[in-house]
């Protein structure tokens, strides 16, 4: 059947030709780029209406639909999803709709990935990112060797320093009793009660408002008189992120030392 003397195939062909004409128009990439930049400006605002998000998502969806109509979706060669660069567009659209249906505060962070569409739109950025990816592929043997060496140092640190960064200076039993007026405790406190009391970090020794890390080996930092070094006290330094207590944290610590990222603090612990 035909509709208005135009067959469905002709209608389809007209739609495809229109989509192709829009896609190759010189202003198309400019409009997409302006949309992305405007979206970035809105993302810097503290309170933004959800209507703006709907509008930008609709524009990005329309852009993907134009590409899919002009090139096809996935079945044939040179279609939309056969180009790896278009995967970025597709993922951004999926993440945009996820933020609408999943009402979580942290999910909104996914909207930041919309900025990555500029890589697809700007030819120069695409060339640079492509060159970086090819460089990483060429450096895979170097990366494997570096990871292997880093793993050796991480395993060495794991054996030498596991639990060491949780060692703190706690008052001895005798010091506790002799200074019962300072600690607001009874002078006849039993040793069993003492063991429970020193779990309270307010009793541990500090220097410059930081818990002093100590050790019982030669060369380690020693506790002041009246204190003794005990293990498994509190959390690790840097809010628990710096330690050699397992392989993952040991790898991260070694990576910090290798990249010299605030390495002097870790080196001096």
Per-residue model confidence as pLDDT tens digits over 65-100: 888 888 888 877 878 888 888 888 888 888 888 777
CB 169 within 8 A of CB 212: yes
Residue 36 corresponds to which tokens in the numbers above? 């992305």
Q: Which of 138, 158, 175 is the last residue of a domain?
A: 138
Same-domain pairing of 180 and 134: no
Q: Residue 129 and residue 118: Cα distance in Å, rounded?
A: 11
Same-domain pairing of 162 and 62: no
Q: What are the tens digits of pLDDT across the range 86-136?
A: 888 888 888 888 777 776 556 566 667 777 777 777 777 778 888 888 888
Residue 2 lies in a domain: no
Of residues 249 and 45, which shows the higher confidence score? 249
Mean pLDDT value across the chain:
81
Sign of the dihedral defined by the CA atoms of residues 63, 67, 69, 74, in that order:
negative
- How many helices (H) and strands (E) the chain has is answered by 12, 4
Report in angstroms the alpha-carbon separations of 125 from 3, 112, 119, 139, 236.
45, 18, 5, 21, 41
- Residue 50: pLDDT band with limits 50, 70, 90: confident
Q: What percent of the chain has pLDDT over 90?
A: 10
Residue 44 lies in a domain: yes
Q: Which domain holds residue 121?
A: 8-138
Q: Which of 138, 153, 188 is the last residue of a domain?
A: 138
**Can you give the CATH number for the domain in which 24 is found?**
1.20.120.350
- How far does CA 221 lie from the centroid of its chain? 34
78 phi-psi bin (left φ>0, alpha ψ -120 to 50, beta other) = left
């Amino acid at each position: 059947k035909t509709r208005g003397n135009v067959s469905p195939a002709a209608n389809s062909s007209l739609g495809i030709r229109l989509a192709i004409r829009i896609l190759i128009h010189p202003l198309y990439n400019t409009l997409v780029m302006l949309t992305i930049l405007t979206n970035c400006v809105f993302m810097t605002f503290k309170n933004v209406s959800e209507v703006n998000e709907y509008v930008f998502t609709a524009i990005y969806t329309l852009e993907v639909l134009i590409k899919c109509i002009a090139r096809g979706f996935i079945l044939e060669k040179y279609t939309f999803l056969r180009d790896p660069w278009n995967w970025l567009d597709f993922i951004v659209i999926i993440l945009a709709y996820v933020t609408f249906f999943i009402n979580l505060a942290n999910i909104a962070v996914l909207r930041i990935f919309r900025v990555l569409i500029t890589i697809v739109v700007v030819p120069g950025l695409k060339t640079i990112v492509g060159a970086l990816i090819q460089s990483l592929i060429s450096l895979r043997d170097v990366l494997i060797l570096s990871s292997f060496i880093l793993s050796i140092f991480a395993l060495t640190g794991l054996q030498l320093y596991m639990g060491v960064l949780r060692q703190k200076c706690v008052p001895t039993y005798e010091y506790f009793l002799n200074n019962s007026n300072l600690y607001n405790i009874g002078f006849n406190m039993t040793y069993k009660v003492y063991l429970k009391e020193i779990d309270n970090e307010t009793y541990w020794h500090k220097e410059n408002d930081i818990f002093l890390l100590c050790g019982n080996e030669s060369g380690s930092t020693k506790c002041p008189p009246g204190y003794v070094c005990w293990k498994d006290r509190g959390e690790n330094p840097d809010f628990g992120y710096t330690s050699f207590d397992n392989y993952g944290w040991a790898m991260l610590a070694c990576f910090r030392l290798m990249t010299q990222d605030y390495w002097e603090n870790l080196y001096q612990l």
